[in-house]
Every structure is written in C-alpha cells, then in structure tokens.
Structure 1
Amino acid sequence: MRVVILFGSEMGTAETVADSVADALSAHDVSVYDMSDFAVDDLDVHDFHVIVCSTYGDGDLPTGAEPFFDELDACAPDLSGLRFAVFGLGDSIYGDTFNRGGEIAAEKLVARGAIQVGEHARHDASTEIRPKEMARDWAATLPVPALTSA
C-alpha cells in the first residue's frame, strides 16, 4: 500500500507540512503531490491518502486545492473504500472560518464515499506550536494499514 500525500497551499506552509508527514511515514512507500498537479482519476482506493490543506480568505480552499476539488465535484467518482486523513492549517483569529479548508476537503471526499480515519488535525497559526512538529507527531498516530509490516 502506498501513502499518497496531497497538499493544497496558498503560501507554501502546507507543502512544508506535507514533507514533514512524508518524513514521519518514511517506512512506507510515500509520494507527495501538489493537488494542483494531481488528477482525480489518479485516486486509488488501494492507497492511503493524507490531505494537507490550508485555509484561505473567508474559510475557503486555497488556490492550489481548487482545481482538484472542482474536478472531484465535476467527475463525481465513487470513492467507496478510499481511506484518508486530514491535516488542516488555519488561524483561530478568523473565528468561525478557522481551518475550514481542511474541513471542506474532508466533506467533499466523504460525500463521494471515502472514509476519514484518524484524528482530523487542526493546526492553529496563533499558537507557538510549529506546524511541521505537530504534523510529524500527528502522522505517527495515523492508522496506516501498512504499519504492520508485510
């Protein structure tokens, strides 16, 4: 089983976090992709997906994630059996829209039949916690099926 990490970013933080998650899961076959360069047709129910997504504007998906989720909405594939986890990035100073990007990503995948697993991580830029460190710790808790070595 491969681990496919997809990031959607506006300022690059999600890409940095995606790389930290990849480092934490390096015992697996891990690939990291910018969502803007990843086709919905490439989603494979046999892979474990990690979505790293920032929040932009008034609680929107970042520009880098919009093409992927627009394609997901347009194609409306059946993603039954696809397992994924989400690491969201946001800033609690924005109140109700805090971390909405990651939540929107999860909602769209679940609406297509995918199953979210593990804790939905929500990094808050208003804290002292560094996103890369939080991501590394979070990734270590993910229920990646391949963790039981073959």
Structure 2
Amino acid sequence: MAVVILYGSEAGNAESVAEHLADVLSGQDVSLYDMMEFDPGDLDADDFHIVVCSTYGDGELPTGAAPFFDALDEDEPDLDGVRFALFGMGDSVYETFNRGGEIMAEKLISLGAVQVGEHARHDDSGPIKVKDQAEEWAKKIAAEFLS
C-alpha cells in the first residue's frame, strides 16, 4: 500500500514536518504532495493518506490547503474507502488552536473518508518539538495501520 503525505502550509512549517514524516516512513512506498498541487480526484482508497495541516489567522486553513479544500467543497468526490490520519499544527495561545486540521478532517469525513488513529495536535507553545511529536505519532500510525 502506498502512503500519500499531503501538506497544507502557510509559512513552510507543515511542509517541513511532512518531509520529516516521509523520512520517518521511508521503509514504505511514500509520496509527498503540497495540497496546492494535488487533485482531490486522485485520492485513492488503495492508498493510506497522511494529512499535515497547520492553522492560520483566526483558525483558518493555511493558504497552501485552500485550493485542495475548495476543490473538495466544489466537486464533492465520493471518498468512500479512503483512510487518512491527520497531524495538525497550531498554537494553544489562540482560541482556535489547531482548527485548520479539524476543518480539513471534517471535510474529508463529510465526503466519506475515514479518519484513523490519533488526530495529533501539536502545540507550538508547548515543550515538545514538532518533529519529535510527528515522528512518535508516525511510528504509532505505521505500526497500527501500515504493518
């Protein structure tokens, strides 16, 4: 099974995390895509999807995730059988902590996709470095869903 990592970023942090996850999962058949350049019609139930999404502004999707989300919203593809895990990024000093990842997960689920594993929510104000949390999370996801 192929692992498709999709990232939506504003300042490049989600991209950096997604690249790190690709390295962590290098024993798998991994491909990495910016959501700005990925057609939702290419979501395949035979693949396992990892979505890395930051939060921007007042709890909005980052600019890098907007075209993908808008295409999902407009085309409403049938995502029955599509599985995904989500790694969200945000800062708990804001009331809208990690809302970008939640918005993306809600949209995918509304179209029939199934979210699996822990919905990771990294806190930029917390003591854990984002890549450390992402690596630990990815290893759990791989052990549970990619073995």
Partner of residue 4, structure 1: 4
If the length of structure 2 is used for normalisation, what is the TM-score?
0.96
Q: 1:146 & 1:91 partners in 2: Cα distance?
A: 30
Structure 1 stretches lacking a partner, 5+ long:
none
Partner of residue 54, structure 2: 54
Pair 1:38 & 2:50 matched: no
Which amino acid letter does the alignment assign opposite residue 43 of structure 1?
A: L
Q: 1:66 & 1:77 partners in 2: Cα distance?
A: 16
Give 1:146 shift.
Answer: 3.7
Partner SS, residue 10 of structure 2: coil
Runs (4+) off by over 6 Å: none
Q: 1:19 & 1:40 partners in 2: Cα distance?
A: 20
Per-residue displacement from partner, 1:67-98 (whole Å, max 9, x unpaired)? Answer: 00000011101101000000000000002x10
Partner of residue 65, structure 2: 65
Partner of residue 28, structure 1: 28
Q: 1:32 & 1:17 partners in 2: Cα distance?
A: 11
**Same amino acid, percent of matched pairs:** 62
Partner of residue 120, structure 1: 119
Give 1:24 shift.
Answer: 1.6
Partner SS, residue 118 of structure 2: coil
Give 1:128 shift.
Answer: 2.1
Q: 1:64 & 1:117 partners in 2: Cα distance?
A: 23
